[in-house]
Every structure is written in structure tokens, then in C-alpha cells.
Amino acid sequence: MDIKTTCPYCGVGCELIISRNNSQMSLAGDQNSPVNQGMLCIKGQTLLETVGTDAKRILQPVVDKNLVSWNQAIERIAKLFTNTKKDEIGLYLSGQMLMEDLYVAKKMTQKFGIQNLESNSRLCMYSTVAANKRAYGADIVPVSYADIYHAEVIIIIGSNTANCHPVVFSHIKKSSAFVVCIDVRKTNTSELSDLFIQVENGRDMELIADLPQQNWFVGKKVLSVYSQGLTQTTDATDKVNSLINMHIQTGNINKKGCGVLSLTGQPNAMGGRELGISSTDLTASEFFSTPQIKTLWVMATNPAHSMINYRKIDNLIVSDFTKTLTTEQADIVLPAGSWSEKSGHCKNSERRYLMQNAFLPFAGNAKADWEIICLVAKALGLSDFDYKSSNEIWEEMAIDTSWQPQIKVREQLVEINSPARDYQPVINNGRLLAQWHGMGRTGRSKTLNKLTKKEANIESIHHISNNNLFKGRAVELDKYSKQPCFKSVKI
């Protein structure tokens, strides 16, 4: 039996075929997929090594470190929500949740009156959303992977695409385009590009403005590809707008092979963006750095590992499939289904709606995220949460799934007035080819762990070690601030 599904890692949206013969399973890239055309990166190839149960798999609800029933856990959550001021309650979601999960979470918060609803995908995507709205009048990704094959020049800026989005980089290398990599450091992407331009920290906009003067640029159809090297920096929105401005000024927009493509880091980051998963009061990072939120429900992510200025939450609820630093600190832990056990939709970087299909039963007492949210909603006395399947939710959402490779956008230049800044000392984040998103899933793969090599100029940190990093390396950081190189830190 063959089951078609979608990879749960980055936002490329690679489609897979899972073949099952009794207890034997195998995996392959879907040759008929317009997204990956059968290609898979090493993380996708080893997905079957990450399914099933192990010592870290969460199989039963836990309250105050004690195993409890679902009824007991839900009753405790309902009591916390009822006894906490609504502006002190927050839900922190994830781009790893499916469209149906996010929709039900938003519906529940709106009906109960909770304003603080956020997603971890906003941390890296908010600057792109804001830049798109300023330039295009709406949050639109106007291009797709198909434009890669029509471009004459492809500029990769702020992205180690070869490591972070390998299938997109494979498309780029298969094209006939002249590939230019712009980065603050040498990477696998820079080594495999036709031209590498090393930009000094903080001088992105100056370099972007100068690109049309280059011989290899003039008169060519240009596609720019970017990721968190632009979007997770100071003045990130202005940097994205400077890139869009450059395309508008040179006529490299609204044509095949021309435009600006942002690569997203999680499988359904785009879906959360579309559904408007965002707070109107606090920012995503402020959920963890300010004392306003007293009761917080975290789903499918591990902020204790990655969120700088993370603080202890009074009442922390966590839904996840595996134990993490965040579940260790939680008062209530709920067993959520894993990728192989869940069905629903996600939206990839080029705006396609893709289907995830379960091919294994839920392990232990785990449940789908949407089902857990519905249990809490009903315990709070809310109506219209009696869904029997994710299909019922999808039908209620009534989303237009039609797709086109290009969308015409408004061509409006954005005035940029970023102040002069001192970017030193410099710490940059990076990614490892064989690992992903705190290693909650990839860390289960023996193959990926063997392939993971510690690089001399990269350290892995989280909130526990942030202060130690800065205190212990003051001299080293001062030294680097005087040179055109830097200390790279994986966060």
C-alpha cells in the first residue's frame, strides 16, 4: 500500500510516497510532485528513522510530573483558563502544526476572548510580511520555484540554501542561471555558486543598491532568493524592501524568472501567515520576556531551547510528541500526535497547499493537535467544536486551493530611512545540514547524528547558556569586532 504525504521539515514542501507491506515500510520522493520532482534532502530521506516510540516519546498526559487521564488534564487546563485574566493567557503555536490545527486554535481563542495568539514562525517571517504589505499592498509571494528555470541570474542573499533548503538549491543548480551568493561568511552555498560576494555586517542595503551596476546583472532576468539572513536582523523589514525596490527599479518583477522569493523554515509557516495567527498586543518574543502572560499553552515547539530572554511561566502547558527542554519545565504536558500519525494540510513557500496523510496509528494516548484544542474548548463551554476528523475542519475553512506560478503585484517603491547602526560585536546564527529545529525529530535519526559535525566557529546555545556565552567571551568578541570576520553561533 502506498500513501502520499508531505515532509514535516522545512517550507519547501517535498512530497513523499510511503510504501507499506505489513510491518515493513519504505520511503521515496514523489516523482510526480511538481515541488520536488522525486528529490529529497538527507533529512527527508531518513524520516522513517524518526517515527515510532522511544524513551523521549510522550505517550500519556502529565500534570505536575504525575501521569493522569485526559479528562484530568483537560479539567486542569479549563480551570487555569477560567481562573486567569484573559489578557494574561497566551497560546504559542508553531509552523509545524497543520492548517486545521491552527484554524481550530484561532477559533477557540476568538470564542473565549483570548487576544494573545502567536506562532513561532512569526519570529522569522514578520519582517517579510511587513515588507510585502508596504511594497505590494498585501502579503503576497508573487513567484514560485518555476521561476528558477526562467531566470538568467539567481541571487541568493542571507540564505545558506544548499544546507537549509537543499531541494530548492538543487532546482537552482539544475537551471541554467548564473548563481550569485551574497553572505557575511563562506558557506556550502557560496562554494557551489558561480560568484560569491562577501558583504560586511550591516551593509546589506548598500550592496543591494549597487547590484544593478554589475556586468552580470545588466539586461538579465533576475530572481532573488532570501531567508533568515535578512529577516532575522536589525532593520530586517527595510532590508527586504530594499531588495524588492531593486527589482522594481530594474524591471525585474511581474515577469517569468523575475521577482523575490522568500524561503520559509517550517512546513506550514505560510499557513499560519495566511490564517492571521498573530497577537495584537504582545510580540512573539514578548510572550517569554515580559511578565504579562501567566498561563501559556505552547504547541509543537521548544522555546526554552531557542528563545532568548526566556523566563519561567507561572502555568506552562505544552503539547508535543517528544520530551524537550520546554516539556521538562511544564506543569501540564499533553501527548500530541507525531507527523506520521496526523492528517491535514500545510502550505509551502511557493503557496501550494499540500496534504499530510497519516500512515501510522497514534502512539499511546496521543491525539491530534486540533482534537486536543477541541477538548479544551468544550470543557470551557464553547460550542461548534464537535469535529470528527480533520476533513470536517478543512471543509469548514473553505479555502481556495487553486494555484498559479506567478501573481501580479503592485510595483510601489518604499522609502527607507534606517538609522546608521553599529553592528559590532557580531553574533550570527547558522544551521546544520543534518539537523533541524532544535533536533526534536532529527535528533532521533542515527544517520543524521553520525553526519552532524561540530564546526570550529559554531556553538550551540539556549537560554541557560546565553549569559555565560557573553560573559565568557567578552575579549574574543571584542577581538572579532576589529576584524572583518565574526563568531558564528547556532541558536
DSSP string, 257-319: T-EEEEPPSSTTHHHHHHHT---SSS-TTHHHHSTT--EEEEES--HHHH-TT----SEEEEE
Instruction: Specify whether the CB–CB gap between 13 and 354 falls below 8 A.
Output: yes
Residue 453: which residues within 8 A CB-CB, separation 6 or more? none
Specify the higher pLDDT residue, 422 or 389: 389
Amino acid at 332: I
Mean pLDDT confidence for 432-460: 81
Instruction: Specify whether the CB–CB gap between 365 and 68 falls below 8 A.
Output: no
Q: What is the pLDDT of residue 477?
A: 30
Q: What is the pLDDT of residue 454?
A: 67
Mean pLDDT confidence for 57-78: 98
Tens-place pLDDT, residues 373-382: 999 999 999 9
Specify the higher pLDDT residue, 16 or 444: 16
- pLDDT for residue 241 is more than 90: yes
Q: What is the pTM of this model?
A: 0.91
Please tell me the distance from the alpha carbon of residue 337 to that of residue 356, in angstroms, as a whole number. 13
Q: Taking Cα atoms as reference points, which of 145, 124, 203 lies closest to residue 14?
A: 145
Please tell me the distance from the alpha carbon of residue 180 to that of residue 61, in angstroms, as a whole number. 50
Residue 217: which residues within 8 A CB-CB, separation 6 or more? 153, 211, 250
Please tell me the distance from the alpha carbon of residue 428 to that of residue 233, in angstroms, as a whole number. 9
Mean pLDDT confidence for 211-223: 97
Q: What is the pLDDT of residue 459?
A: 67
Mean pLDDT confidence for 92-101: 97
Mean pLDDT confidence for 352-358: 97
State the burial class of residue 144 (Cβ atoms within 10 Å of its Cβ: 0-12, 13-18, 19+). Answer: buried
3-state secondary structure 168-199: HHHHHHHCCCEEEEEECCCCHHHHHCCEEEEC
Tens-place pLDDT, residues 100-129: 999 999 999 999 999 999 999 888 788 999
DSSP letter string over 307-345? Answer: -TT----SEEEEEESB--HHHHH-SEEEEBPPGGG--EE
- pLDDT for residue 427 is more than 70: no
**Could you tell me which CATH class the domain 62-121+268-387 is placed in?**
alpha beta
E strands present in 109-219 = 116-119, 153-157, 178-183, 195-198
Q: What is the pLDDT of residue 490?
A: 31
Mean pLDDT of the chain: 90
Mean pLDDT confidence for 39-53: 95
E strands present in 435-479 = 458-460
Mean pLDDT confidence for 129-142: 95
Longest pairwise C-alpha distance within the chain: 68
Tallying the residues shown for the chain, one arrives at: 491
Specify the higher pLDDT residue, 246 or 451: 246
Specify the higher pLDDT residue, 466 or 224: 224
Min mean pLDDT across 22-31, 34-43, 180-189, 229-238 is at 229-238
Asked: is 124-262 a CATH 3.30.1330.20 domain? The reply is no
Grid cell of 341 as nine digits: 500519525
Min mean pLDDT across 84-88, 286-290, 336-340, 396-400 is at 286-290
Indicate the pLDDT class of residue 484, thresholds 50, 70 and 90: very low
Instruction: Specify whether the CB–CB gap between 80 and 296 falls below 8 A.
Output: no
Please tell me the distance from the alpha carbon of residue 318 to that of residue 299, in angstroms, as a whole number. 6
Q: Taking Cα atoms as reference points, which of 421, 418, 428, 481 lies closest to residue 458?
A: 428
Residue 426: which residues within 8 A CB-CB, separation 6 or more? 184, 201, 480, 481, 486, 487
Q: What torsion do the CA atoms of 337, 339, 341, 345 make, to the nearest 10 degrees?
A: 100
Mean pLDDT confidence for 410-427: 82
- Neighbour tally for 48: CB within 10 Å: 15
Mean pLDDT confidence for 164-187: 96
- pLDDT for residue 83 is more than 80: yes
Domain boundary assignment for the chain:
2-50, 62-121+268-387, 124-262, 427-490
Asked: is 2-50 a CATH 3.40.50.1970 domain? The reply is no
Q: What is the pLDDT of residue 389?
A: 97
Bridge-based pairing of strands 344-347 and 353-356 is antiparallel
Indicate the pLDDT class of residue 420, thresholds 50, 70 and 90: confident
Q: How far is CA 308 from CA 3, 284, 304, 363, 461, in A?
A: 40, 11, 8, 32, 10
Q: What is the pLDDT of residue 439?
A: 82
Please tell me the distance from the alpha carbon of residue 229 to that of residue 158, in angstroms, as a whole number. 4
Q: What is the pLDDT of residue 232?
A: 83
- pLDDT for residue 301 is more than 60: yes
Q: What is the pLDDT of residue 126?
A: 87
Q: What is the pLDDT of residue 15?
A: 98
Instruction: Specify whether the CB–CB gap between 316 and 333 falls below 8 A.
Output: no
Q: What is the pLDDT of residue 243?
A: 97
